């Protein structure tokens, strides 16, 4: 079984009838990028940059970050690097920042809410990313964007950083821009934001937490709120449909993308790209190779008609192409 998986590592990811689907990797540090080749990942689809801040007693400044992003690009050798701007707050605490304690941190100052409130910290990261983009393909995405005002504020800051760099005669490159769609508000406000975006990435971990009003870290809730449920499937379908209508690329970086059992369903819903954990990548690739695209579409059609979690699970475990 292991040998069959290993044999897939040098092959492109395709459905049985030859539809290719890029599988990128989720990483939390630079050294993980060394392992992309072990599984044949086609780039980094989520670089969780807050780990640069969480694991350090000292915050990495602009130059240090620039160096780190350049190192990452060099290891990727032309493959895309998707950087998520630091998603601080909630479950991602940073000792070096002395953040205020909040009663409901998951509903508090986190993601772009935090970085927009700390423009110096945010600008240092944006400048480092812009400068690194001179050396390779960078996609930049922003976490916890709910509405157009937040996206505009982020883009304004990014423009200011470009202006500064220009005045300082420092080189920088163009970025592809995206958001992590991870709140119900973002789903329902997507139409207004899509014209400003090159891509969106679906963050199912937080999307599930905020849709169900269920703390993702609470072990008491794990059985009631599985990662795959009819309402999440419907939200995903809605995101993909809107993104496609606006010709914006749609990827998924939440844990659901790393679930081999869900992969054919996600392709059937129209997902164009996955970002998965390195440990699951070959299994997702294998799962997709066993399904034809029309069968994925039929599976998705049936899944969208189901209203019970157990019926959805039954469909996914008993429906084979
Ligand atoms: C998500 O919310 O699905 C996601 C990818 O981000 P994180 O798990 O880092 O919050
Ligand atoms: Mg998230």
Give 10-residue mean pLDDT values along the chain (321 residues). 86 94 96 94 96 82 97 98 92 76 89 96 98 98 98 98 98 98 98 98 97 93 87 98 98 97 98 97 97 97 96 87 56
What is the pTM assigned to this prediction? Answer: 0.96
pLDDT of residue 320: 66
Question: Annotated catalytic, 253?
Answer: yes
**Residue carrying the six token digits 């772009």:** 112
State the pLDDT at residue 4. 87
Show the tokens assigned to 145.
Answer: 């964007």
Residue whose C-alpha is closest to residue 33's, from 63, 76, 97: 76
Q: Which atom of ligand 1 is nearest to the CA of 201?
A: 5
Annotated binding site for phosphoenolpyruvate: 48, 84, 205-206, 216
Q: Which residues make up each annotated binding site for Mg(2+)?
A: 182, 206
Number of Cβ within 10 Å of residue 170's Cβ equals 13
The residue contributing the CA closest to ligand 1 atom 3 is 203
The C-alpha atoms of residue 89 and residue 143 are separated, in whole angstroms, by 11
For ligand 1, atom 8, the nearest C-alpha belongs to 205
**How many A from CA of 154 to the centre of ligand 2?**
17
Predicted complex ipTM: 0.99
d(CA 166, ligand 2 centre) in Å: 33
Check if 111 has its Cβ closer than 6 Å to any atom of ligand 1: no
> How close is the Cα of 39 to the center of ligand 1, in Å?
22
Q: How many CA atoms lie within 13 A of 23 on its CB side?
A: 35
**Partners of 20 in the β-ladder:** 14
* DSSP conformation class of 13: P
């Amino acid at each position: 079984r292991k040998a069959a998986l290993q044999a897939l590592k040098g092959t492109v990811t395709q459905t049985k009838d030859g539809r290719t689907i890029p599988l990128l990797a989720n990483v939390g540090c630079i050294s993980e990028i060394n392992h992309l080749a072990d599984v044949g990942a086609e780039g980094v689809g989520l670089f969780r940059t807050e780990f640069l801040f969480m694991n350090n007693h000292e915050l990495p400044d602009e130059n240090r970050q620039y160096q780190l992003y350049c190192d990452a690009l060099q290891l990727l050798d032309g493959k895309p690097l998707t950087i998520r701007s630091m998603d601080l707050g909630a479950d991602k605490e940073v000792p070096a920042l002395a953040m205020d304690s909040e009663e409901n941190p998951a509903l508090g100052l986190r993601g772009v809410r935090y970085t927009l409130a700390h423009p110096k910290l945010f600008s240092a990261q944006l400048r480092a990313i812009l400068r690194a983009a001179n050396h390779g393909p960078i996609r930049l995405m922003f976490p916890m964007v709910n509405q157009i005002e937040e996206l505009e504020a982020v883009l304004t800051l990014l423009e200011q950083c470009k202006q500064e760099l220009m005045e300082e005669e420092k080189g920088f490159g163009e970025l592809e821009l995206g958001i992590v769609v991870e709140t119900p508000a973002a789903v329902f406000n997507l139409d207004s934001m899509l014209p400003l975006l090159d891509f969106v990435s679906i963050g199912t971990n937080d999307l599930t937490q905020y849709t169900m009003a269920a703390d993702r870290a609470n072990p008491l809730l794990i059985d009631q709120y599985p990662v795959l449920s009819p309402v999440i499937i419907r939200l995903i379908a809605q995101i993909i449909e809107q993104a496609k209508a606006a010709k914006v690329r749609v990827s998924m970086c939440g844990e659901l993308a790393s679930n081999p059992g869900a992969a054919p369903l996600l392709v059937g819903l129209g997902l164009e790209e996955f970002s998965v954990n390195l440990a699951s990548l070959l299994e997702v690739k294998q799962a997709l190779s066993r399904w034809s695209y029309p069968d994925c579409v039929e599976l998705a059609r049936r899944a969208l008609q189901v209203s019970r979690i157990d019926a959805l699970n039954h469909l996914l475990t008993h429906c084979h192409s």
